[in-house]
Amino acid sequence: MTGVEPRFDDLIHAPTRLSLVSLLTAAEWADFKFLREQTGLSDSALSKQLTTLEDAGYIDIRKSFVGKRPRTSARLTPAGRQAFAAHVAALQQIVARSGLEVTP
């Protein structure tokens, strides 16, 4: 986490949003259905959380077609990636200060 200033982010830290951003940080993009299956959220709950993240400028939501089927996908924006990296650094700092072992 070198070069990232630790900053705890309350918006990201909410449990469902932490799960969503953690999924998205490992992905170039993720399908709405994938996010729903992995988090176990309902369509409306997932939409609400994604909208919150989008309003904060942390994710982009993209609508496209695969064949004739509509597909909604999401990905982290550079700002979202930066905020998440700072949040993880803050969590690691809290753990390190307590003397627990920190996984990179």
The single residue listed with the structure tokens 């994604």 is 50
d(CA 17, CA 19): 5
Nearest distance from C-beta of residue 17 to other proteins, angstroms:
11
59/66 Cα distance (integer angstroms): 21
C-alpha–C-alpha distance, residues 52 and 54, integer Å: 5
Structure tokens at 40: 């176990």
Compute how many residues bind other proteins; rule: CB under 8 A: 38
Tokens read off for 37: 């299956």
Question: Which one of 9, 11, 34, 51 is in contact with other proteins (CB under 8 A)?
Answer: 34
CB of 9 to other proteins, least distance (A): 11
Verify binding: residue 103, other proteins, rule CB under 8 A. Answer: yes
From the CB of 19, what's the least distance to other proteins, in Å? 6
Q: What's the rounded Cα separation, in Å, for the pair 8 and 12?
A: 9
Question: Would you tell me which residues interact with other proteins (CB under 8 A)?
Answer: 1, 3-4, 8, 13, 15, 18-19, 22-23, 25-31, 33-34, 38, 81-82, 84-89, 91-92, 94-95, 97-98, 100, 102-104
